[in-house]
A and B are shown apart, each in its own frame.
Chain A
Amino acid sequence: MTEMIATRQAYGDALVELGEKNKDIVVLDADLSKSTTTAKFGKKFPERFFNMGVAEANMMNTAAGLATCGKIAFVSSFSIFATGRAWEQIRNTICYSGLNVKIVATHSGVSVGPDGASHQCIEDISLMKTIPTMTVVEPCDAVETRKSILAAVAHKGPIYIRLGRAAVPVITKKEDPFSIGKASALRNGKDVAIVACGALVANALTAADMLSKEGIEATVVNMHTIKPIDREILVKVAKQVNAVVTAEQHVLDGGLGSAVATVLSGNYPVPVEMIGIDNRFGQSGEPDLLFKEYHLLPEDIVLAAKRAVGRKKK
Chain B
Amino acid sequence: MIKSQCLDIKSLEERAMVIRRHVVRMLAKAGSGHPGSSLSTVDLLVALFYNKLRHNPQQPAWPDRDRFVLSKGHACPALYAVLAENGYFGVDKLDTLRQFGSILQGHPSMKITPGIEISGGSLGQGLSVGLGIALAGKLDKKDYRTYVMLGDGELAEGQVWEAAMAASHYKADNLCAIIDQNGLQIDGFIHEIMSSYPIPDKWRGFGWHVIEIDGHNYKAILSAYDEAEKIKGKPTVIVAKTIKGKGVSFMENQVDWHGKSPSKEEAERALAELK
Interface residues of B in 145-168 (CB under 8 A from A): 158-159, 162-163, 165-166
Complex alpha-carbon distance, A47 and B141, angstroms? 12
Residue from A61, A73, A89 with most neighbouring chain B CB atoms (10 Å): A61
Instruction: Tell me the minimal C-beta distance from B41 to chain A in angstroms.
Output: 20
Q: Is the CB of B118 within 8 A of A97?
A: yes
Asked, given contacts A58-B166, A61-B125, A61-B132, whether A47 binds B118 with beta carbons under 8 Å apart, the answer is no
1/0 per position for A87-127, CB-CB distance to B under 8 A?
01100110011100000000000000000000000000000
Are A71 and B136 touching (Cβ within 8 A)? Answer: yes
Is there an interface contact between A68 and B125, defined as CB atoms closer than 8 Å? no
For the complex formed, measure the closest distance between the CB of A34 and the CB atoms of chain B, giving whole angstroms: 19
Is A182's CB within 8 Å of the partner chain B?
Answer: no
Q: Shortest Cβ distance from A206 into chain B, in angstroms?
A: 44
* Contact yes or no, B159 A57, CB < 8 A: yes
In the A-B complex, the 10 residue pairs with the smallest Cβ-Cβ separation, listed nearest first, are A65-B132, A61-B128, A69-B136, A58-B162, A55-B162, A62-B132, A65-B129, A65-B133, A66-B132, A97-B119
Chain B: CB-nearest residue to A96: B119
| Residue B9 is within 8 A (CB to CB) of chain A in the complex | no
Is residue A170 within 8 Å, beta carbon to beta carbon, of the partner chain? no
A92 contacts which of B122, B136, B140 (Cβ < 8 Å)?
B122
Question: Given A97-B118, A98-B111 in contact, is the A62-B125 Cβ separation under 8 Å?
Answer: no
A residues less than 8 Å from B125 (CB atoms): 57, 61, 89, 92-93
Judge if B117 is at the interface, Cβ distance under 8 Å. yes
A53 within 8 A of B: yes
Taking Cβ atoms with an 8 Å cutoff, the residues of A that contact B are: 26, 47-48, 50, 52-53, 55, 57-71, 73, 88-89, 92-93, 96-98
Judging by beta carbons under 8 Å apart, are A50 and B170 in contact? yes
Give every chain B residue within 8 A of A97 (Cβ-Cβ).
109-111, 118-119
A70 and B118 within 8 A (CB): no
A57–B162 CB distance below 8 A: yes
Contact A64 B132 (CB under 8 A): yes
Report yes or no: B165 in contact with A92, Cβ–Cβ below 8 A. Answer: no
Is B272 an interface residue, CB under 8 A from the partner?
Answer: no
Which B residues are CB-close (under 8 A) to A57?
A: 124-125, 128, 158-159, 162
Residues of the A chain whose Cβ atoms lie less than 8 Å from the Cβ of B140: 69
Q: Find chain B residues with CB under 8 A from A61 CB.
A: 125-126, 128-129, 131-132, 159, 163
Inter-chain contact A26/B133, CB cutoff 8 Å: no
> Is the pair A68, B162 in contact by a Cβ cutoff of 8 Å?
no
Interface size on B, residues (CB 8 A): 33
- A64 x B166 contact (CB < 8 A): no
Does B166 lie within 8 Å of A55, measured CB to CB?
yes
Give chain A nearest CB distance to B169 CB in angstroms.
Answer: 8
Contact B128 A65 (CB under 8 A): yes
Interface code B157-190, partner A: CB below 8 Å = 1, 0 otherwise? Answer: 0110011011001100000000000000000000
Closest to A94 in B: B119
Q: Knowing A57-B159, A58-B159, A93-B129 touch, does A65 contact B136 (C-beta < 8 A)? A: yes
Cβ contact within 8 Å between B133 and A66: yes
Is B132 touching A67 in the complex (CB atoms < 8 A)?
Answer: yes
Which residues of A are found within 8 Å of B159, using beta-carbon distances? 55, 57-58, 61, 89
Specify the chain A residue showing the minimal Cβ separation from B137: A69
Whether B130 sits at the interface, judged by CB under 8 Å, is yes
Kindly state whether residue B30 has any CB partner on chain A within 8 Å. Answer: no
Q: Chain A residues near B111 (CB, 8 Å)? A: 96-98
User: How far is A68 from B131 in the complex, measured between Cα atoms in Å?
Assistant: 11
B133 touches A68 (CB 8 A): yes
CB nearest to A47 among chain B residues: B139
| A97 CA / B251 CA spacing, docked (Å) | 33
A selection of 15 A-B contacts at a CB cut-off of 8 Å is: A50-B170, A52-B166, A55-B159, A57-B162, A58-B128, A61-B125, A61-B126, A65-B128, A65-B136, A67-B132, A68-B117, A69-B63, A73-B132, A89-B125, A97-B111
Q: How far is the CA of A69 from the CA of B63 in the complex (A)?
A: 8
The reply on B134 being an interface residue by CB < 8 A is yes
In the bound complex, what is the Cα–Cα distance between A56 and B230 (angstroms)? 31
CB distance from A63 to the nearest CB of B (A): 6
Say whether A62 contacts B119, CB under 8 Å.
Answer: no
Once the chains bind, are B139 and A48 in contact (CB under 8 Å)? yes
A65 near B165: Cβ-Cβ < 8 Å: no
A48 to B140, CA, bound (A): 11
- The interface residues of chain B lying within 8 Å CB-to-CB of A62 are 128-129, 131-132, 135, 163, 166
Chain B min CB distance to A90 (Å): 11
B57 within 8 A of A: no
B207 within 8 A of A: no
Contact present for A70 and B139 (CB under 8 Å)? no
B121 within 8 A of A: yes
Which residues of A lie under 8 Å from residue B166 when comparing CB positions? 52-53, 55, 58, 62
Known contacts A55-B166, A58-B162, A97-B118; is A68 also within 8 Å of B132 by CB?
yes
Bound together, the chains give a CA A96 to CA B169 distance in angstroms of: 28
Known contacts A61-B132, A65-B128; is-contact A93 B170 (Cβ 8 Å): no
Residue of B nearest to A91 (CB): B122
